[in-house]
A and B are shown apart, each in its own frame.
Chain A
Amino acid sequence: MGSPARELVEKIGIASASVFRDMIEMVCFVGDLSKVSWRVLRKPSQLRWKETLYYMDMCGSQAVPIVLMICFLMGVILGFQAAVQMRKFGTELYVADLVGFSILKELGPLMVAMIATGRAGSAFAAEIGTMKVNDEISALETMGFAPSRFLVIPKMLAMVIVSPVLTVFGDVIGIVGGFVVGTTMLGLPLMAYYNRTVEVLYPMVFMLGMVKSVVFALIIAVIGCLRGFQAECNAQGVGRATTSAVVTSIFLIVIADAVLTIIFSLMGY
């Protein structure tokens, strides 16, 4: 004790131990979840359909306006920035390539994931955290239920279904955003831009974006719920759980995005 250097080393040690513990907990949670998912898969009647539909509505259809808005603006911004640079070289038509590929491969799934993290991930953490404070989780357990079957599986399933659908919306409106810039600001002919977009994009790019969005959805649902379960039993604890859910989700989404991008490029796409 005493010397600042030693204190620093101790702090680093404590921090890494907590990160390590957190990772262990995450792995355990995923393991438990896989077990419950497998059971539900074998006996679909165990699935809580009502909750699933509710979360699909909450995380899906209610998120459409914000997804449309953000992704459209994303397309516009991307198109605009690309246009400014490409105009110098007289390669304005390549704006269609840039916007199309960026939106389909990266920004569509990523933006939807960010929105979903903010909307759904935080809501999941807060909901489960509050339930924990109110002993509802304990009640579920002492009623002989696996809490994750009630609380996690419906959220996970809803997110996995809804996220690709939202991504489709985001992709399309994002490309439309680029299209608007291309035709108004650059004065490219409507059909030229359209043809270029259709020419360079192929379904596999789109499908890879869908795969990404499913992975992101799983991360958001799992991390949101995990942080809820880990919440301390007071109001501040729930708040911290919510913050941590959003931060951890975004961090893991970015890592997953990088990993998936590498995998896809190794696969040759």
Chain B
Amino acid sequence: MIEANKFRLGLFVISGSVLFFIVIFVFGLSDIFVRKGKFVSLFNESVQGVAVGSPVKYKGVPIGTVSKISIQVNDKLIRVDMDIDMKAFVTDHQSGAKAVSSFNDFFEHESKMGLRCRLEYAGITGLKYVELNYFDQFPQAPVIERPKYITSNYFYVPSIPSQFKDILNLINTSLEKISRVQFDKISDEMTGTLKSMQRLLDDPKLKMMIDKMEKMSDNMEKSSSNVSKVLTESKLREIVDGLDTNLKSLNNLTISARGSIEGAKFIETAQSFREAAYSVTDARQALLSTLLKLDQTLDSLTELVNYLNDDPSSLLKGKHKPVVIAPSAK
């Protein structure tokens, strides 16, 4: 009754043991026979998401795993050790010392060419892997030079900040620059400029000048009508001579007018206004509208000055009249 079924028991023990060794072999002892290269890298950013066993990829090809993560106390860098399976690299020599040396040469060369490692997201789970690649297209952060404590039996691969950190950096610097813009001063300066503009426009001399010009043009009109009344050959010459002197004195007047207008430096002021406006991209609506009105005023002023510049005689002739007069003068 209390007799074991020896055959069944034997079968059980044997198959169990065989299975045991198969499992051990499949789950890891096979690793023992894999030739490994030891890589190490140093990060000065958080390695959140990377764990022992996280994959290491070379241009997307899984070539190994992270074997250890530690903190270097002396420089506060995070050291990530990686085991690289040499079998992932096909060389001319399939095995032996030659394969190892060609593997070494390959990475020596790669490292000189600027091979870098970077932490990348493996998915939405927040897990990361270590990517070995050339990252030329991204702004090169200062590379951590190989420290002395990393012995020569390790390959040192410098790290570069992860993409996420790049984005963070950009945002940070932009925010910093914005905070450096002195909005108070800009608005103070602008108020001052506007006031001086107002003063300029209110200047009685300018008014008087315009009044005088108006009077002059009235006189001109009168004299022109007189001209047509007493238009004789002899008198015409006299008149032309008189007109000549008149024109000369008008020229002088124009020059002095231009000088006084240029003294106001309308154009430069407008330019600086625009610049100020550009530097503040998110300017307030009120400021914008004020500037717009000011701009319009300036524009019309500039127009006026240009007009006078092109045709100084219009000061005498008025805006549209010369078109009427010129043919008759010929």
Determine the residue in chain A with the shortest Cβ distance to B18: A168
Task: Please indicate the chain A residues that have their CB under 8 angstroms from the CB of B2 in the complex.
Answer: 50-51, 54
Cα A164 to Cα B267 with chains together (Å): 93
Is B288 part of the contact surface with A, judged by Cβ < 8 Å?
A: no
10 smallest CB-CB distances across A and B, nearest first, come from: A165-B16, A61-B12, A57-B4, A53-B4, A203-B28, A57-B9, A61-B8, A54-B4, A202-B28, A201-B27
User: What 1/0 mask marks residues of chain A from 81 to 108 whose CB sits below 8 Å from any chain B CB?
Assistant: 0000000011100100000000000000
Instruction: Judge whether B252 is part of the interface by a CB distance below 8 angstroms.
Output: no
14 A-B residue pairs with Cβ-Cβ distance under 8 Å, sorted by A, are A50-B2, A50-B3, A50-B4, A53-B6, A57-B5, A57-B9, A60-B12, A60-B13, A89-B125, A91-B123, A165-B16, A171-B23, A198-B26, A206-B24
A94 to B2, CA, bound (A): 47
Q: Which residue of B lies closest to A64 (CB)?
A: B12
Q: How far is the CA of A175 from the CA of B19 in the complex (A)?
A: 13
Please report whether the interface of chain B is mostly helix, strand, loop or mixed according to DSSP.
helix
Within 8 A of B (CB), among A43-90: 50-51, 53-54, 56-58, 60-62, 64, 89-90
* Shortest distance from the beta carbon of B187 to any chain A beta carbon, whole Å: 51
When each residue 179-209 of chain A gets 1 if its CB lies under 8 Å from chain B and 0 otherwise, what string results?
A: 0000000000000000000101111111000
A165 and B124 contact, CB distance less than 8 A: no
B123 contacts across to A, CB distance below 8 A: 89-91
User: Do B20 and A165 have beta carbons less than 8 Å apart?
Assistant: yes
Instruction: State the B residues within 8 Å of A (CB).
Output: 2-6, 8-9, 11-13, 16-17, 19-20, 23-24, 26-29, 53, 123-125
Contact (A61, B27) CB under 8 Å given A89-B124, A165-B20, A172-B19: no
A120 near B: Cβ within 8 Å? no
- How far in angstroms is the closest Cβ of chain A from B88? 13
Taking CB atoms, residues of chain A closer than 8 Å to B23 are 168, 171-172, 203, 206
Identify whether the interface residues of A are mostly helix, strand, loop, or mixed: helix
Whether B19 contacts A168 by the Cβ 8 Å rule is yes
Cβ contact within 8 Å between A203 and B24: yes
In this assembly, does A29 line the interface, its C-beta being within 8 Å of a C-beta of chain B? no
- Is there contact, CB below 8 Å, between A54 and B3? yes
Partner of A91, one of B4, B8, B12, B125: B125
- A253 contacts partner chain B, Cβ-Cβ < 8 Å: no
Determine how close the nearest CB of chain A comes to the CB of B223; give it in whole angstroms: 93
State A1–B118 Cα separation when bound (angstroms). 76
CA distance A17 to B9 in the complex (A): 44
Residues in A neighbouring B19, C-beta threshold 8 A = 168-169, 172
Of B13, B17, B23, B123, chain A has the most CB atoms within 10 Å of the CB of: B23
* Residue in B closest to A207 when the chains form the complex, CB atoms: B24
Q: A57-B5, A91-B123, A91-B125 are in contact. Are A165 and B27 (CB under 8 A)?
A: no
Task: Please state if B8 and A198 are interface contacts (CB–CB under 8 Å).
Answer: no
A211 CB to nearest B CB, Å: 13
CA of A201 to CA of B13, assembled, Å: 24
Which chain B positions have C-beta within 8 A of A171? Answer: 23
A166 in the interface (beta carbon within 8 A) = yes
The digit string for A157-172, where 1 denotes a CB below 8 A from any CB of B, is 0000110111011011
**CB-CB contacts below 8 Å: A194-229 with B:** 198, 200-206
A260 to B141, CA, bound (A): 46
- Return chain B residues, CB-CB under 8 Å to A205: 27
Q: Name the one of B13, B29, B53 contacting A200, with C-beta atoms under 8 angstroms.
A: B53
Chain B residue numbers with a CB within 8 Å of A206 are: 23-24, 27
Please name the residue on chain B nearest to A161 by beta carbon: B13
Q: For A203, give the chain B residue with the smallest CB separation.
A: B28
Are A202 and B27 within 8 A (Cβ)?
yes
Contacts of A201 in B (CB 8 A): 27-28
B125 — which chain A residues lie within 8 A by C-beta?
A: 89, 91, 94
A61 touches B11 (CB 8 A): yes
Whether B9 contacts A60 by the Cβ 8 Å rule is yes
* B5 contacts across to A, CB distance below 8 A: 57, 61
B29 adjacent to A203 (CB under 8 Å): yes
Q: How far is the CB of A115 from chain B (nearest CB, A)?
A: 15
The distance from the CB of B23 to the nearest CB of chain A, in whole angstroms, is 6
Closest chain A residue to B21, Cβ basis: A168
Pairwise interchain contact A56-B9, C-beta atoms closer than 8 A? yes
Q: Is the CB of B9 within 8 A of A166?
A: no
Whole-angstrom distance between the Cβ of B29 and the nearest chain A Cβ = 6
Contacts of B8 in A (CB 8 A): 57, 61-62
Further contacts, 20 of them, CB under 8 A, given A58-B4, A61-B9, A91-B125: A53-B6, A53-B9, A57-B4, A57-B9, A60-B12, A61-B8, A61-B12, A62-B8, A64-B12, A94-B125, A162-B12, A165-B13, A165-B16, A168-B19, A168-B23, A172-B23, A200-B53, A203-B29, A205-B27, A206-B23
Kindly report which residue of chain A lies nearest to residue B3, judged by CB atoms. A54
**B126 to chain A: closest CB distance in Å?**
11
Q: How far is the CA of A202 from the CA of B28 in the complex (A)?
A: 5
Q: Write the nearest CB–CB distance from A153 to chain B, whole angstroms.
A: 15
Return the chain A residue nearest B29 by Cβ: A203
Please give the distance in Å from B82's CB to the nearest CB on chain A: 15
A63 to B4, CA, bound (A): 14
CB contacts (< 8 Å) of B26 on chain A: these are 198
- Is B11's CB under 8 angstroms from A198's CB? no
